[in-house]
Structure 1
Amino acid sequence: MRYLMVLADFEQGHESIELAQAKQDLLLLWLAKSQTIDLPNTQLISVGMNQITWQGTQSLSEGEVGVINLCLSLQFPLLLSLKAKIASVDSSGNDTKCFVADLCAMSPQLQDHFEQTVFRYHRRAIQQSRQAAT
């Protein structure tokens, strides 16, 4: 939750004493975790308020419960681990499948910050597509 809060403040450019402390905390946390963390391969995903969709070659089946690890920022590369349940697996005839995972219950505070992050990224994607069209 703290990661999502600081990431939001950093991306929006808010400056305050509290934010400066939060950035320092996050940087120290990032430094500690970066010594032992391997980031997942980059791939396109679709993140919704309650679901995550991606394509891959994993052998996952519907109903399977596990953890999805996301890295939302290259500036602050920290894996956000979210518990999820595979809702559907669609095979397109080749080795690649389309997976839809429902996110499992989060604390209300984490859910709120996660939804704000998804909404912020959605707004940014719309803005970038409008800029690319002009």
Structure 2
Amino acid sequence: MNTLPVPDGVHFSAHLPLAWHGVLQQSTFEATRYLAVLAEFESISDERSHAQDALHAKLDLMLLWTAKNASHTLPAAKEVMIGLETIVWRDSAALPLGAHGALALSLSHILPFSLQLPAEIISCVVSEQGYVLTARLLLQEEALRDWFERTVFRNHRRLVHAGRGAQA
């Protein structure tokens, strides 16, 4: 299988649910809050008391059940390369250059949610398996951009640590 082009800077690759939508149908607030909750959900904090751990366990279980009930609406999983400013993926359909819309993707298999990020198609190249598409993210709101960048850095670090462990 041909690998996807690697974006400049910090990035990570994954096999995630992803689809293109012609219209953004999610508020920036909802997207920002999901990324903040995902960061908290994936973190391990030694600073919590026993009572806080018990509360977080209840909240985590509620979030998991809610996500499980909503995950039936996730798009099909695709090979993706996620950078700070662009997302590259392989698809069976072409998209026109300059098209504006939203990338709907789920960044967590454990806490699935169809996050929508505003984007513009900047490349569509024919490949052996269809098309390789590149979208530039149009994250205008600072809070959304900040939480998205944290998510990319967290996943990038995870892959670097996993790679170091595999080399040892």
Corresponding residue of 1:131: 165
- Partner amino acid for 2:143? Q
Structure 1 counterpart of 2:93, from 48, 58, 77: 58
Give the gaps of 5 or more residues in structure 2: 1-31
Pairing of 1:3-42 with structure 2 (within 5 A): 3-14=34-45, 15=48, 17=52, 20=55, 24=59, 27-28=62-63, 31=66, 34-35=69-70, 37-42=72-77
User: Normalising by structure 2, what TM-score?
Assistant: 0.68
Pairing of 1:62-73 with structure 2 (within 5 A): 62-73=97-108
Structure 2 counterpart of 1:114, from 130, 148, 151: 148
Is 1:77 the counterpart of 2:139? The answer is: no
Higher relative contact order (CA 8 A, sep 6+): 2
Q: Give me the identity figure in percent.
A: 38
Q: How many residues align?
A: 133
Partner of 1:44: helix, strand, or coil?
Answer: strand
- Partner amino acid for 1:44? E
Give the gaps of 5 or more residues in structure 1: none
**What is the alpha-carbon root mean square deviation over aligned residues?**
2.8
User: Normalising by structure 1, what TM-score?
Assistant: 0.83
Distance 1:26 1:85 in 2: 36
Q: How far is 1:107 from its partner? A: 1.2
